[in-house]
């Protein structure tokens, strides 16, 4: 399930959603936060996105994770709009029978999201630049997917 929203989320509530009692053996989660980016306390942090494309990209990432690993549930929440330093930005959670699939799928989802989902961060007056390290992290998974399909 995916959500793109301004409202904050509760990690414990999302974990409850992910766990299927007696069936789930593992839940892995990733939470991203707004880091302090300026000495200026009035500097604003803002997240822009491309409505409708965002949702379709996130759904595709979720489907690909289910295809690649034996997962039970997946949950992606990404916040948008004006956020404060220290606030939660993104939640990725997956449940599975065993930890290997849970860890891998959780990392896969956030790595692909960071390079494909149309979100842009603005710190004060400055738009954040994309990092090559993020591209490499996503590329690693995508190369693996192509090889596995052969």
Taking residue 42's Cβ as centre, other Cβ atoms within 10 Å add up to 6
Provide the b/e sequence for 118-135 (b: ≥16 CB within 10 Å): ebebbbeeeeeeeeeeee
Residues 108, 43 contacting (CB under 8 angstroms): no
Question: What is the nearest approach in angstroms of other proteins to the Cβ of residue 102?
Answer: 19
The residues, ordered by sequence, that sit 6+ positions from 35 with a Cβ below 8 Å of its Cβ are: 85
- # residues contacting other proteins (CB under 8 A): 27
**Residue 48 makes contact with other proteins by CB under 8 A:** yes
Q: How far apart are CA 140 and CA 55, in angstroms?
A: 23
**Residues between 1 and 30 that touch other proteins (CB under 8 A):** none
Binding mask 55-94 for other proteins (x = CB under 8 A): -x---------------------x----------xx----
Among 11, 70, 99, 130, binds other proteins (CB under 8 A): 130
Which span sits near other proteins by CB under 8 A: 11-19, 21-29, 96-104, 127-135? 127-135
The residues, ordered by sequence, that sit 6+ positions from 58 with a Cβ below 8 Å of its Cβ are: 2, 4, 76, 78, 113, 117
Which span sits near other proteins by CB under 8 A: 6-14, 66-74, 100-108, 119-127? 119-127
**Residue 113 makes contact with other proteins by CB under 8 A:** yes
Q: How far apart are CA 32 and CA 6, in angstroms?
A: 14
**Residue 127 makes contact with other proteins by CB under 8 A:** yes
Query: Footprint of other proteins on this chain (CB under 8 A)?
Result: 32, 47-50, 52-53, 56, 78, 89-90, 110, 113-122, 127-130, 134
């Amino acid at each position: 399930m995916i959500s793109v929203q301004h409202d904050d989320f509760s990690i414990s509530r999302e974990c409850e959603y992910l766990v299927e009692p007696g069936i789930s053996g593992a839940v892995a989660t990733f939470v991203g936060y707004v880091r302090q980016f300026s000495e200026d306390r009035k500097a604003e942090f803002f997240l822009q996105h491309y409505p409708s494309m965002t949702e379709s990209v996130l759904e595709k990432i979720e489907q690909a994770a289910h295809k690649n690993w034996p997962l039970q549930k997946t949950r992606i929440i990404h916040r948008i709009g004006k956020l404060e330093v220290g606030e939660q930005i993104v939640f990725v959670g997956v449940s599975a029978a065993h930890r290997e699939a849970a860890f891998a799928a959780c990392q896969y989802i956030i790595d692909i999201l960071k390079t494909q989902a149309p979100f842009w961060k603005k710190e004060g007056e400055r738009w954040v630049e994309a990092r090559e390290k993020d591209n490499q992290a996503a590329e690693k998974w995508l190369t693996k997917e192509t090889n596995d399909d052969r």
